[in-house]
C-alpha cells in the first residue's frame, strides 16, 4: 500500500485550490458581464442573466427528456442473460443453476472472463 502513487486530487489542499480557482473565475466572469459590450443578434440577449438562465433551462430539458426516454429504452437487468442456456444440452442435466450454466458455457469456450 505504500507504493501507491499519489494523484492530484488525493490531497485535499489541491481540491480546495481548484475549487477556489473555479469560484474566482466565476466571480470574474460575472463582473465582466457588466463591463464588456456584447454584440447580440436578438434583444433578449441583453437581459441580465440571460445565458445562465438559458443554460439552466436547456440542461433541465435534457434531464426531463432523458428521464422520459428511460421509460421505453430501459431493459431488465438480465436482458442479455435470457438465452444463456441455448448452447447447453438440457437433456444431460435438466436442473442447472445460472452459475452452473455460465461455468459450463465458459468451459466450452476454454476461457473465463475475469473482471478486475
Q: Give the three-class secondary structure for 5.
A: coil
pLDDT (tens digit per residue) in 47-104: 887 888 899 999 999 999 999 999 999 888 887 876 655 555 555 555 677 777 777 7
Q: Alpha helices of the chain — where are they, by DSSP H? A: 12-35, 50-73, 98-109
**Where do the domains of the chain lie?**
7-36, 44-74, 79-109
Tell me, yes or no, if the pTM score tops 0.75: no
9-48 confidence digits (pLDDT tens): 888 999 999 999 999 998 998 888 888 888 888 888 888 8
Ordered DSSP codes for 61-91: HHHHHHHHHHHHH---TTGGGTTGGGSS-TT
Give the separation between CA 73 and CA 65, rounded to whole angstroms.
Answer: 12
Amino acid at each position: 500500500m505504500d507504493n501507491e502513487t499519489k494523484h492530484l486530487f488525493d490531497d485535499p489542499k489541491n481540491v480546495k485550490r481548484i475549487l477556489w480557482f473555479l469560484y474566482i473565475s466565476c466571480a470574474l466572469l460575472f463582473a465582466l458581464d457588466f463591463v464588456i459590450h456584447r454584440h447580440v443578434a436578438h434583444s433578449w440577449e441583453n437581459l441580465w442573466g440571460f445565458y445562465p438562465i438559458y443554460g439552466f433551462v436547456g440542461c433541465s430539458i435534457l434531464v426531463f427528456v432523458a428521464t422520459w426516454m428511460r421509460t421505453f429504452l430501459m431493459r431488465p437487468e438480465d436482458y442479455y442473460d435470457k438465452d444463456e442456456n441455448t448452447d447447453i444440452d438440457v437433456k444431460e442435466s435438466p436442473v442447472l443453476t445460472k452459475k452452473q450454466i455460465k461455468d459450463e458455457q465458459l468451459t466450452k469456450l476454454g476461457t473465463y472472463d475475469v473482471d478486475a
